[in-house]
Amino acid sequence: MARLFAKNGYSVALIARGGDFVNKLATEINSSGGQAAPFTVPSYTHEAITSAWDAIHQNFPKPEYAIRAALFNVGYGVWKPFLDITPQEVQESLNTNVAAAFSFSRGAILAFKDNDIEEANGKRGALLFTGATASTRGNVLTSAFAAAKFGTRALSQSLAKEFNKQNIHVAHAIIDGPIKVDRPGQTTTSGPAGEFDASVRLEPDSIAAAYLYLVHQDRSA
C-alpha cells in the first residue's frame, strides 16, 4: 500500500515498532521518486501512537500537506486452543487489535476533521482497517484473535456511522485468506512447483489496489 500510494502522488508516513523495515521501505520509496518517512514507536500504547501522529504532523505540516488516508494494518494473531491461551495473550490481542485501533483512529479522525472536502470524491479523508477471516468468524484456534478482530470491525462500523455525516469515510476490508507475505521464515508461495497461486494466496499489491480504490471512492457510494 505504501508503494502504491507513493506512486499515486501521496506522501507516506510509515509507523512501526522496529525501524529496520520502515527505514528500508522509506529509502526505497524516496529513491524511486516517491516521498516517505518512517515513524518508529516503542509500542502501540495510546501515548506512543499519539506521539507518532504529532511527529507526522511536524514532518508533513499544513497547509502544504493534508492527511487524506490512514490504514490500521496492525494485527496480533493468537492461534491456540482455548485452554492454552494465557491472560497475557488475551490482553495483548485486545491491546493490539482493539485499543491501538482506537488510538490510531483518534489521530486519523482529528486530522481529517481539519481538512477541507476534496472535490473529486466529497470526502475529508478515508480511514481503512485490515480485517481477516477472524473478523467475522470464530474458529477452533482463534478465540483470542477473533474476539479482538471482531472488536476492530465493531469499531470501524461505529466510526463509519458517526463520521459519515462529516464526510469522513471509514472502511474495513475483510481479507478472507492467507496473504502472500515476504518475510523470513514464512512461505511466500504455495502453488504447484513453488509458483504463486492466486487461488491459494492473496497478492498484497492487489489488496493495495483495492485500498486505493476505497480511498478514492466517491462519497455517494
Interacting residue ranges for ligand NAP, rule: CB under 6 A? 16-18, 44, 73-76, 92, 96, 130, 132, 175, 178-179, 181
- Closest CB to ligand NAP among residues 28, 118: 28
**Distance from C-alpha of 207 to C-alpha of 202, rounded to nearest angstrom:** 8
Q: Which helix (H) or strand (E) holds 155?
A: helix 143-164
Instruction: State the DSSP code for 67.
Output: -
Q: How far is the CB of 181 from ligand NAP (least distance, A)?
A: 5
- Closest CB to ligand NAP among residues 179, 208: 179
Q: How far is the CB of 215 from ligand NAP (least distance, A)?
A: 17
Q: How far is the CB of 175 from ligand NAP (least distance, A)?
A: 4
Q: Using CB atoms within 10 A of its CB, is residue 156 exposed (0-12), middle (13-18) or buried (19+)?
A: buried
- Closest CB to ligand NAP among residues 66, 202: 202
- Whose CB is nearest to ligand NAP? 75
**Distance from C-alpha of 219 to C-alpha of 198, rounded to nearest angstrom:** 31
**Distance from C-alpha of 207 to C-alpha of 173, rounded to nearest angstrom:** 9
- Picking from 215, 10, 27, the residue whose alpha carbon sits closest to that of residue 125 is 215
- Closest CB to ligand NAP among residues 37, 66: 37
Q: How far is the CB of 174 from ligand NAP (least distance, A)?
A: 8
Q: How far is the CB of 190 from ligand NAP (least distance, A)?
A: 11
- Closest CB to ligand NAP among residues 123, 180: 180
The full DSSP string for 77-134 is -----GGG--HHHHHHHHIIIIIHHHHHHHHHHHHHHTSPPBTTTTBSEEEEEEEEGG
- Closest CB to ligand NAP among residues 98, 179: 179
Three-state secondary structure along 172-204? EEEECCCECCCCCCCCCCCCHHHCCCCCCCECH
Q: How far is the CB of 115 from ligand NAP (least distance, A)?
A: 26
